[in-house]
Amino acid sequence: MARKKFTTSLDENIIQQLKMQAVKEGTDASKIIEKLVAEYLKKQA
């Protein structure tokens, strides 16, 4: 699946925590967000 850039705004504290968690997991923030949104959408279906 092709990836496309998506811009949004989040609370700066959430962004900071998200980036720190991404480093701990050896991934990037966008992959964490993508995973969480996909799980959310799957539950809504």
Q: What local confidence, expressed as pLDDT, does residue 22 receive?
A: 98
Q: Are 18 and 32 in contact (CB under 8 A)?
A: yes
Does the reported pTM lie above 0.95?
A: no
Rg of the chain in Å (alpha carbons): 12
Q: Give the whole-angstrom CA distance, residue 34 versus residue 31.
A: 5
Q: What local confidence, expressed as pLDDT, does residue 1 receive?
A: 79
Segment 12-44, tens digit of pLDDT: 999 999 999 999 999 999 999 999 999 999 999
Q: Give the dihedral sign, CA 5/29/34/43.
A: negative
Q: Give the whole-angstrom CA distance, residue 36 versus residue 41.
A: 9
